Chains A and B, each alone.
Chain A
């Protein structure tokens, strides 16, 4: 394993160097880091908690001189704090769910593609079957069995849907890779199957998978928002970007900031993640340079 890591150092080190050389990637990374840090620290630093009701400032618009920079909602809760709480929860759920779904999908699709034969057939048909189940139905069942608003349920629900697509993509890529002559060359050299997977298949999948992963994080945020919007996800008084936007949408005409503040954070996150994904893909392909 240490051997493999040492050998792949070249690829990853070069990729990191190339990534640093891209301005778009640097900006996206800096913004992401700033938002994440803010989300982690600000709630603690702010005088308001996410569920503190400030009766003197109900539905107050944003302003720098006001007590609440980003305004408050109908119940007088600080929107800045709630939005950052939402970002924290949404990021946590989406990053965890992406990691789970990419991990399972990579292992499942890669193994199916590389082993081939009946194993491949069985594994991929299983994915097809799961694909055909209505996932909302499953989420509702999970909710009733385990309890509404549980973070675990949300994670399981989101990851269970996400890994299917990853598995399909990785499967297709592996099939293409397997036919390449350098894989045969590795076999002729005397590498074990595990070593071929670690040293040749996974690094060559890395570009696709990393891009897909950075693109699934925003997808997961959207999906979480969607579930929360339907009332199947994060429940009041807890805040996620999804239920904040949902609440804000109902006040859109009288108090637009309630929608715009969380929506702006969502747009910022999605934009940065997409930019980062694109730059990562280029950085991981030596031929791009």
Chain B
């Protein structure tokens, strides 16, 4: 949609945001001008720290206490900058709706979601309690919250991330705003849920001819939703153009870089094929259960996080494990390393069962099996310096090394993960997320392990950093010939790095296939996952979003009978509810658990 001649809903002119800090004033936003027409969606993209959120927070008068905005921001013709809080309160939440990244911290934990929604309407629309409740339920149904009547009586912590984000959207829409500002609304969600939320936003925007600002670092999201795109960097606007122009023929070199980063990462195709028949890691019929206490006298509920998972990993081979959150991926990673005790089944590493080794031998064996964690900062001890963290495995496994030799090895390792040696005296909180993840990788690699387990090592990082880390992992793998177990929710990433992919849903194996053959997946769940991966192409992505089906995994406490995926499966038949599908061999060692894989 070209910028229409109608007056803009929101118009920023030379907006500047300055923060007073101990080190003097810092300009987070400089001279930003942009406009949003009625019914239009403007994407604002840039990496973290580009000032995109701060610009829009300034519009809403929500800057931190040390922030000052200057310039102009007109909403429907009236100036917002400098407006007193009372006057702003009549605009924000009512005529401008907001959706933030973290729906958990944006909702009050002690009120049911229905009440929170009704409260906003009572405040802004002066409707009665009963009317507000009725409209709240309607809205929750409109945002496709499954089982809305029951859910509206629940508290935020009882809902999944996707459901909470739906509630946030319902709250944002409750007063029929002219403008919706969505700040990274899908960053914290699973890929499948991301697609659902974005498609919901598109639908709502069209239905209510509402203007929208989508702040994101995800070019795929922009391609599916936005009409025009503004690219920001270091507080400035680099360029604004239609989404097709930005994604197809960007002018600015930085935009080109962003667009390139959004394309599926190109990593040299996995070179090492496992020698046939050789097995380094054998997992057979592995089940893990967690006991959830239900109070004093009741017996604890049993959550089956993994059910009968089996696979083998050859020396030097890489296996990707994908699925949505709650699918049991992280549990599998930890069970493989004997960090938790399975309820049944075996994990055999090089012919030995790690879990039943005497503690001393088990600790020694752990030198061969290392792990990279999801949270780059949280997995590093905040009171240790980078050098101490990376050197710690050496302290545990090679106590004979003197400190100088250890420092030397640490320095070499830091160099290998492309970190400056000077960083070894720094503490984790002084580093960026990407640097912290490099430290985590260095710690895992310093012992030259023969198996590296990565638990979502990219999900906390932004686009360009993800590519760098992925390239680093691919390089390390090539040099060291180690096996790799790579857990991720992003099928596109896994496919690039691993020879084979195992798809898990509710702790059950759905499909095990070679990465090349995933172009034509056998299992409908794999298909859904593939479909959800965003593509930064404005021609294709809106249609892909349109096909996103609502639905989230059911609770692992009460999984469906038969095939666990059947409640979301478009091809489900009666037999799917009655019998658990066999783990059938298809071709070339690939396997699938579906009654209907031959027909669909």
Contact = CB atoms under 8 A, between A and B. Distances in A.
A188 B366 contact: yes
Contacts of B374: 181
A7 B392 contact: yes
A186 B371 contact: no
A285 B430 CA distance: 13
A284 B440 CA distance: 23
B359 interface: yes
B366 A7 contact: no
A68 interface: no
A10 B366 contact: no
Contact of B429 (A184, A189, A286): A286
Interface centre among A10, A180, A182, A195 (most CB of B within 10 A): A182
A204 interface: yes
Interface string A246-289: 00000000000000000000000000000000000000111100
Chain A at the B interface: mostly helix, strand, loop or mixed?
A: helix
Contact of B382 (A6, A186, A287): A287
Given A188-B337, A203-B383, A180 B388 contact: no
B411 to A, nearest CB: 16
Which of A6, A7, A185, A284 has the most chain B CB atoms closer than 10 A to its own CB?
Answer: A185
B388 A185 contact: no
Q: Which of A6, A180, A184, A192 has its CB near the most chain B CB atoms (within 10 A)?
A: A184
B379 A182 contact: yes
A284 B382 CA distance: 11
A17 interface: no
Given A11-B384, A184-B339, A195-B396, A189 B366 contact: yes
A185 B379 contact: yes
B381 A200 contact: yes
Contacts of A195: 396
B277 interface: no
B381 A204 contact: yes
B396 A287 contact: no
B379 A3 contact: no
A190 B396 contact: yes
Contacts of A190: 363-367, 393, 396-397
Interface in A1-39: 3, 6-7, 10-11
Nearest to A204: B383
A182 B427 contact: no
A7 B334 CA distance: 27
B370 A188 contact: yes
A187 interface: yes
B339 A182 contact: no
A199 interface: yes
A257 B396 CA distance: 61
A11 B443 contact: no
Interface in B351-404: 359, 363-367, 369-371, 373-375, 378-385, 387-388, 391-393, 395-397, 399, 403
Contacts of B371: 185, 188
Best-buried of A188, A206, A285 by chain B (most CB within 10 Å): A188
A191 interface: yes
A71 to B, nearest CB: 49
Most B CB contacts (10 A, CB to CB) among A189, A206, A287 go to A189
Interface in A218-266: none
A185 B395 contact: no
B381 A188 contact: no
B392 A189 contact: yes
A284 B383 CA distance: 8
Interface string A70-102: 000000000000000000000000000000000
B396 A191 contact: yes
A197 to B, nearest CB: 13
A188 B339 contact: yes
A183 to B, nearest CB: 8
B285 to A, nearest CB: 24
Contacts of A286: 382-383, 427, 429
Interface residues of B, number: 38
A6 to B, nearest CB: 6
Nearest to B429: A287
B378 A180 contact: yes
Contacts of B375: 181
Contacts of A185: 371, 373, 379-380, 440, 443
A204 B380 CA distance: 12
B385 A10 contact: yes
Contacts of A192: 359, 363, 396
Contacts of B392: 7, 186, 189, 191, 199
B325 to A, nearest CB: 16
A7 B403 CA distance: 9
A11 B379 contact: no
A199 B369 CA distance: 21
A115 to B, nearest CB: 14
A284 to B, nearest CB: 8
Interface string A159-195: 0000000000000000000001110111111111001
Contacts of B365: 190
Contacts of A181: 373-375, 378-379
A7 B388 contact: yes
B395 A7 contact: yes
Contacts of A3: 395, 399
B337 A287 contact: no
Nearest to A189: B393
Nearest to B359: A192
Contacts of B373: 181, 184-185
A284 B384 CA distance: 11
Given A3-B395, A187-B339, A10 B363 contact: no
Nearest to B395: A3
A200 B397 CA distance: 17
B477 to A, nearest CB: 19
A186 B380 CA distance: 9
A149 B337 CA distance: 59
A182 B373 CA distance: 9
Contacts of B440: 185
Contacts of B379: 181-182, 184-185
A146 B199 CA distance: 79
Interface in B511-548: none
Contact of B384 (A10, A184, A287): A10
A284 B395 CA distance: 23
A168 B203 CA distance: 53
Contacts of B366: 188-190
Contacts of A203: 381, 383-384
A6 B403 contact: yes
A191 B359 CA distance: 10
Contacts of A187: 339
Interface in B74-130: none
Contacts of A6: 403
12 contacts: A182-B379, A182-B381, A185-B371, A185-B373, A185-B379, A185-B380, A190-B364, A190-B396, A190-B397, A204-B382, A286-B427, A286-B429
Which 9 residue pairs of A and B lie closest in terms of their CB atoms, listed nearest first? A190-B366, A181-B379, A286-B427, A181-B378, A188-B371, A190-B363, A182-B381, A185-B379, A189-B393
